[in-house]
Amino acid sequence: MIPAIDLRGGRCVRLLQGDYARETVFGDDPVAMARRWEDEGASRLHVVDLEGARTGVPCEVESIERIVAAISIPVQIAGGLRTLEHANRYLRAGAERIVFGTAAVKNPTLIVEALAMDAGAVVVALDHRDGQVRTEGWLEASSLCVVDLARRVQSLGVQRVLSTDIARDGMLNEPNYTSLAELSAATSMAVIASGGVSAINHLLRLAELGVEAAIIGRALYTGAFSLREALEAVE
């Protein structure tokens, strides 16, 4: 389980289905939130720069650097990573992984360059709605389906992908097991699941599907279950 910290305006927020007009604020201190998840047993954090994802330019660099410096567990960063310079800044600050979404569709050369720099640090986000990959902070539709993009980035040497069903993100229903199973069957990459987790039994089913990890956001913030409960159940 990987707790998510989504940043916007320096605060910890959650969106519904990636809709920037449907935002809930869960905290004003991202560093305190990161320490909370570390204290509760998280082995990794997923931190997203929401405005960066939408604009293509990182907007929460200082907040993210403070988070990375304040905790000892690995951090993966997503949102607005469109250049090697931006990615390198986070890696130099101590982030373990960098997540590319839009760049994987629009600038695959950047993915190749990032892989050459540190293949283990690269994660490609497969953000999709109704099976169709979306970019630019989930606002723009592409012509690619999830499996097609997955196969494409695997051919470049990508080792790990993050699959998010946008329609389920923040909705507290359940993950898209069908899509995740298809993705796992079509490639040999490690798969991180995101979107829809709202109960511990969802995590158990994801484990049965063979996903490497699941990102959890709203379910933790609203108290649907605790991180400790989830960790104990999966272990």
Question: Which residues form the catalytic set?
Answer: 6, 127
Phi, psi (rounded to 5 degrees) for 109: -60, -35
Query: Is residue 193 within 8 Å of 217, Cβ to Cβ?
Result: no
Query: Is residue 196 within 8 Å of 176, Cβ to Cβ?
Result: yes
Question: Which residues fall within 8 angstroms of residue 62, CB to CB, at 6 or more apart?
Answer: none
Phi, psi (rounded to 5 degrees) for 182: -65, -40
The CA-atom distances, in angstroms, between 176 and each of 136, 158, 165, 173 are 22, 22, 7, 10
Of 143, 146, 98, the C-alpha closest to 123 is 98
The structure tokens listed for 153 are 């980035």
Residue corresponding to tokens 């969106």: 15
Q: How far apart are CA 208 and CA 204, in angstroms?
A: 6
Query: Is residue 67 within 8 Å of 77, Cβ to Cβ?
Result: no
Query: Is residue 146 within 8 Å of 131, Cβ to Cβ?
Result: yes
